[in-house]
Structure 1
């Protein structure tokens, strides 16, 4: 592949720094992880956003979380046909092969994907309406959430949509037969969270009230 290039120097330096310190101090733990395989108790579906650091939020170590990241932490509804279902495949593997006990959808503030969906549905992002826009077609999953938004200014409605994004993903999870059967059998629990990046706050979805509450 002629277009591949060497890593930037700063990343090479960081790697060697980690290998000499973090890895060396915990070498036995890494060897155990390599030999025993992974046995995470939870899967987290989070956004690709570089500001959302799942392991830091929960103080997690290697091997604790099976993490899948995509634009706007969306989970599509189950569907057959087609050949490329990265998020659906990750969910299937976590539930059927790793047998995680918890599946967490983690949304966040200032999500660019959600804002893009809001603009697209408001008629202000024609580039996302193009059939050739991967982001636009992915954000179509969230269109039903836009239709549910209440009154308010654009900022408050975008915040609503960020939380609605989590709820829609939870609803879509239950369209997967392996998820539905695991939940109904009590082997798997679903959790919806929203994280405020600036404030460091975390809210959890309460199905009884249909609202998000501080953790």
Structure 2
């Protein structure tokens, strides 16, 4: 633990700036959230990518969204094998304890995780193929969908379509969770798929009946 260091000064300065302005202006609301607990209306499963600002995109305030982030916004299939499953645990908590009304999977452009999956599928990423690669084994969730875009010659277009497939496979895997299926059957839960272009600010939603994404 001797290698643990104090927070960098620039982050300390930013914290004090937020405490003096953003927090001070909304102190009563923060105290209300602390006292009453969280009651988010929706869960968002998004990528870890620092360029994807979920609350800004959806105009959400403190306490409105329960956000889980991972590499390439993926949801694994339901697999109660006694291992550690952070994403599955977050979904269980959101649906069964917080009673969210919506679960949203938010994909994005220029996703490094998706690019890594494509490289693996093309045989161009031996490091990710290694058994000890956490990223590689995580991206195996998306690997079956590569067949849908494998014949596309334009690599940039191939990746953009595979990014959308990351949303689709996550929605499909959500349907394997029993408490998600129960919520859908009861009409207390709905699933949604979104993809955003981080450079242009576009937001598209998945339309399952057409098996495509269309701009909002």
TM normalised by structure 1 equals 0.98
Whole-angstrom CA distance in 2 between matches of 1:197 and 1:51: 7
How many angstroms does 1:3 deviate by? 2.0
Whole-angstrom CA distance in 2 between matches of 1:4 and 1:68: 26
Moved more, 143-152 or 180-189: 143-152
The answer to whether residue 157 in structure 2 is matched with residue 165 in structure 1 is: no
Deviating beyond 6 angstroms after TM superposition, the runs of 4 or more aligned structure 1 residues are: none
Could you report, residue by residue, the CA deviation over 1:98-140 in whole angstroms, capped at 9, with x for unpaired residues?
0000000000000000000000110000100000000000000
Contiguous gaps of at least 5 residues in structure 1: none
- Paired residue for 1:113? 113
What SS class does the counterpart of residue 140 from structure 2 fall into? helix
Whole-angstrom CA distance in 2 between matches of 1:60 and 1:77: 28
The answer to whether residue 131 in structure 2 is matched with residue 131 in structure 1 is: yes
How many angstroms does 1:152 deviate by? 3.1
How many residue pairs get aligned? The number is 215
How many angstroms does 1:147 deviate by? 1.6
CA RMSD in angstroms comes to: 0.8
Whole-angstrom CA distance in 1 between matches of 2:20 and 2:143: 48
How many angstroms does 1:80 deviate by? 1.8
Whole-angstrom CA distance in 2 between matches of 1:58 and 1:163: 19
Could you report, residue by residue, the CA deviation over 1:136-170 in whole angstroms, capped at 9, with x for unpaired residues?
00000001110222433111111110000000000
- Paired residue for 1:84? 84
How many angstroms does 1:185 deviate by? 1.2
Whole-angstrom CA distance in 1 between matches of 2:131 and 2:95: 32
Whole-angstrom CA distance in 2 between matches of 1:23 and 1:202: 30
Contiguous gaps of at least 5 residues in structure 2: none
